[in-house]
Amino acid sequence: MTTAVIDQTGGRIDDAAPAPGRRVRGFAWIGLLPFLLFLFVFLLLPTYGVARKAFIGADHSFTWTGMSDAVTKERPAFVQSLKISLVSALLGVVFGTLLAYAAATATRPKWLRSLVSAFSGVAANMGGVVLAFAFFTLLGRQGLGTKILTTGGVDLYKSSWFDITGFWGIATVYLYFQIPLMFLVTLPAIDGLKVSWREASSNLGGTTWTYWRRVGLPVLAPSMLGGFLLLFANAFSAFATAYALNTRFNVVPVKISFYLQGDIAGRSPLPFALATWMVIIMAVAMGGYLLLRRRAERWRS
């Protein structure tokens, strides 16, 4: 199979097929050995270690009880994990797409777009202790933002629905890396919306609304859906941010850490069953993302 890939930066054509006269022989695979061996030891064996502890009972026989126990015992953690991942992914998709559209169509100032892109690259990788602390100082009970909002007439802590260590607080903090990630994922798709499509739509008598409903959103749909899955996976696996804000926040990653610390000998299958569930959920979400990304690339030319 010959696939010619046009590189985005250089525009050079890179021929993926081996040059004629160079047959790939079986032993050529030996060159990959260090890489494969490394992944085997530091990725595959640990994953195997998790699955083994989750599926092998005390009597050394295969059992499903560890996995089913994890779901029944830790149902609240799963529910909370799903809820915060869904909410932060949904909000991230909406605001990330809006931000990408706003930055992609802005004409002035010229440096705006590259500034937002560069910042998104940094912020999407942020998280953990630094991010948690920053939001403590902003939206904590004694936070600067809380005070400014109170002065402006909005008391965040008056009714009990908001707390920086609670669901909506942590969801807000997650948005700090979810929105930039969505921005990075969806910007190429928004760039792919051609001006001529819009002109064609209005020449045929379509309004802005018709354009978005019949052309814009259907073209963006695969990358938005893919982005949603990516953001979902991202929030589902986030540990350090939630833990630094609230060590008792009831989500799956924090629970895994809690059981690991409490059980040094590693006799209980519970944390490992939770971790296995997590890997399964991540595999489904990431697989869906990769499939949708392939679909989304169809419109880019």
Partner 1 sequence: MGASIVEEVLAPSPPPILVGSSPRRRWIARLGPNLVLFACAVFFVAPLLSMARFTLQNVPVIRLGWSTLFDKWTFRALTKAFDDPLFWPTLKLSLKLAVGTIVVSLGLLIPTALYVNLRLPRARGLVEFLTLLPYVVPPIALVAGVAAFFRPNAKWYLNSDYALVPLYVVMALPFTYRSIDAGIRAIDLRTLVDASRSLGAGWGTTLRRILLPNLSASIVSATFLTATVVLGEFTMAATLAKTTFPVFSYQYFGREAQGGIGLALLTLVGSTALLGIFTLFTRRKARKRTARA
Site for partner 1 in 68-87 (CB under 8 A): none
Rounded to the nearest whole angstrom, what is the least distance from the CB of residue 77 to partner 1 in the complex?
A: 13
Tokens of 185: 């994922």
Say what the alpha-carbon torsion angle 185, 281, 72, 246 is, to the nearest 10 degrees.
-40
Tokens of 187: 């910007």
Q: Is 117 in the site for partner 1 (CB under 8 A)?
A: yes
Cα(69)–Cα(54) distance, integer angstroms: 10
Among 91, 103, 170, 171, binds partner 1 (CB under 8 A): 103
Beta bridge partners of 14: 5
Q: Would you say 75 or 147 has its CB closer to partner 1?
A: 147
Q: Is 301 in the site for partner 1 (CB under 8 A)?
A: no
Q: Is 152 in the site for partner 1 (CB under 8 A)?
A: no
Residues 6 or more apart whose Cβ sits within 8 Å of residue 148: none
Rounded to the nearest whole angstrom, what is the least distance from the CB of residue 63 to partner 1 in the complex?
A: 17
Cα(32)–Cα(290) distance, integer angstroms: 24
Cα(67)–Cα(278) distance, integer angstroms: 11
Q: Is 144 in the site for partner 1 (CB under 8 A)?
A: yes
Neighbours of 18 (CB within 10 A): 11
Among 266, 291, 294, 295, binds partner 1 (CB under 8 A): 266
Q: Is 24 in the site for partner 1 (CB under 8 A)?
A: yes
List binders of partner 1 among 162-221 (CB under 8 A): 175-177, 179, 181, 184-185, 187-188, 191, 193, 195, 198, 208
Residue 186 near residue 98, CB atoms below 8 Å: no
Cα(284)–Cα(281) distance, integer angstroms: 5
Among 20, 26, 111, 125, binds partner 1 (CB under 8 A): 125
Stretch that binds partner 1, among 9-17, 57-65, 72-80, 82-90 (CB under 8 A): 9-17
Residues 6 or more apart whose Cβ sits within 8 Å of residue 234: 89, 177, 178, 181
Rounded to the nearest whole angstrom, what is the least distance from the CB of residue 274 to partner 1 in the complex?
A: 9
Rounded to the nearest whole angstrom, what is the least distance from the CB of residue 136 to partner 1 in the complex?
A: 7
Stretch that binds partner 1, among 66-74, 77-85, 130-138, 154-162 (CB under 8 A): 130-138
